[in-house]
Structure 1
Amino acid sequence: MTAEVRTERLIIRDWDLSDADAALSIYGAEEVARWLTPQMHTVSDVSAMRSVLHAWTEAQPDLVPPAGRWAIVRAEDGELIGGLSLRQLPPYEEDFELSWQLRPDVWGNGYATEASRALIRWAFDQGIEELFAVARPDNERAIATARRIGMEWVGETDKYYDRRLQVFRIRPAET
């Protein structure tokens, strides 16, 4: 993303190594980490979080556009409250996945929906024809958010990540 994406309440921007402490309150929280993909586990400390952020920022320029990982910052106070990503789903790397993670203490304020809708619009402006979200069948919060974003349930599969997942999709005409 060459510039920030802004909504009424949020700023979506690139990650920075100085975000490590705040990012740890997201990716180090068990309530968040339990739903992450098998490739990502609970981040244990600030040093580990800094390493994760370093890997993300180093990889960002080499990702197939519009893939990437971004921080969600609350505009009113500049507080980092979450993260968003667009990335190609395994195993064939054809489908783009939208995912969101928020700090547990800000859940229930509509931030995931607001940030995701903004990123969806941005991705469609980049030429993406459809986006997917995947969620474990018992991840009721993620499923509810996918529906609020306007995503349509398209079924269950074990194609991604070798586990049974609910699959949601959105296309430009549906936004």
Structure 2
Amino acid sequence: MKHCFLQTTRIGFSLWAKENLNLAKTLWGNRDVAKYLTADGIMTDSEIRNRLLLEIEQYKTHGVQYFPIFKTGNNEFIGCCGLRPYDPENDVYELGFHLVRSAWGKGYASEAAEAMIEYAFNKIRAKKLFAGHHPENTASQKRLEKLGFVYTHDEFYPSTGLQHPSYELKQPPGQ
């Protein structure tokens, strides 16, 4: 099993490294995934490499990233789930998850997001989480609502050129 700093029943969270470029290409190079992340639905090799380096830098700078996730049983790469600074001065982080196509519809997004929400509030002391989704990604909308996120506004995402429905989840009382 890869070194994992966080684990659920079925998922282990690791850290991106430059050696993970092939995994990044498997995820972000897939058109079914990229269509929700870019305006033209394609991420070039250069864009994927830059995204990987951004995730690595986010961790060095802020201690968070969209962490790569793996099945605990066989170490199969299934995507990423994690955090990035959204409003650092107010301890607000953005939650995001991207799964490889073969992992869709199997509950991994919910399991990973639930673990990351707990991590955000209990380990890094986030006060609030933000999340957005591509307007056509109804699966992400349902997932966020099921996780307790509340719609707040539409926000422009430069990478897609669209207004994305946006949500927040406040820290539960007493945490």
Aligning the two structures, in what range does the TM-score lie when normalised by the shorter sequence?
0.7 to 0.9
Q: Does 1:36 align with 2:33?
A: no
**1:39-84 Cα shifts (integer Å, max 9, x gaps):** xx73334x76445423432442112x5x323101110100111012
* Aligned residue number for residue 69 of structure 1: 66
Distance in 1 (CA, whole Å) between partners of 2:157 and 2:43 is 22
* Aligned residue number for residue 7 of structure 2: 6
> Kindly tell me: are residues 14 and 129 of structure 1, through their superposed partners in 2, closer, same or farther at Cα, counting changes over 3 Å?
same
* Aligned residue number for residue 19 of structure 2: 18
- Aligned residues with identical type, % of pairs: 25
* Structure 2: runs of 5 or more not aligned: none
Partner-residue secondary structure (3-state), 1:36: coil
* Aligned residue number for residue 138 of structure 1: 136
Q: Which amino acid aligns with 2:151?
A: W
Instruction: Report the Cα offset of residue 33 of structure 1.
Output: 1.0
Instruction: Report the Cα offset of residue 160 of structure 1.
Output: 5.4
RMSD of equivalent CA atoms: 2.9
Q: Which amino acid aligns with 1:44?
A: T
Q: Is the 8 A contact 1:89 1:160 kept in 2?
A: no
TM-score, L = length of structure 2: 0.80
Q: Is the 8 A contact 1:26 1:103 kept in 2?
A: yes
Q: Is the 8 A contact 2:56 2:65 kept in 1?
A: no
Distance in 2 (CA, whole Å) between partners of 1:109 and 1:137 is 22
Distance in 2 (CA, whole Å) between partners of 1:37 and 1:62 is 25
Instruction: Report the Cα offset of residue 85 of structure 1.
Output: 3.2
> Kindly tell me: are residues 8 and 165 of structure 1, through their superposed partners in 2, closer, same or farther at Cα, counting changes over 3 Å?
same
Distance in 1 (CA, whole Å) between partners of 2:120 and 2:166 is 19
